[in-house]
Amino acid sequence: MNPEKPSSIKLQTKWQTHLGKLWPALKGSLAQVRKPCIRKNCPACARGDKHTAWLLAFTQRGRRRCMYVPQNLVPLLRQAIKNGRRLEELLYQMGPALIKEFRRQRKAQ
């Protein structure tokens, strides 16, 4: 069993700090749609106006899914999507950073 080097622990702590700030996070998209309601005698639908609704689109087991989102959750989901994109950027950066750290440690031995 190899004990971790102090620099590895620093790198891990750095990433955990960044990742912890990105909660909640999700991958998907949020769309506002306009559609008729299910009420038979709705005055707005009778005029041809449609009701606004929010949908969250995401992939689940390789298939695209959509879920209705209540209006009060829209700001939270917007932030979660933004955090998810930032998290994805950090994951792309993590690979090269880990390789550089590994190479630096090997040279130091």
What's the confidence (pLDDT) of residue 85? 93
Within-domain flag for 64: yes
Within-domain flag for 14: no
Number of neighbours of residue 36 by Cβ within 10 angstroms: 13
Within-domain flag for 63: yes
| Alpha helices (H) in 5-73, listed in sequence order | 6-20, 43-47
Within-domain flag for 84: yes
**Per-residue pLDDT of the chain in tens (109 residues, 90 and over written 9):** 455 555 667 777 777 787 788 889 999 999 999 988 888 888 888 888 888 899 999 999 999 999 999 999 999 999 999 999 998 888 888 888 778 878 887 888 7
What's the confidence (pLDDT) of residue 75? 96
Within-domain flag for 6: no
What's the confidence (pLDDT) of residue 28? 95
Structurally, how many domains does the chain consist of?
1
Strand partners, 53: 33
Strand partners, 68: 55
Q: CA 76 to CA 83: how far, in whole Å?
A: 10
Q: Provide the residue range defining the domain that includes 33.
A: 23-108
Within-domain flag for 88: yes
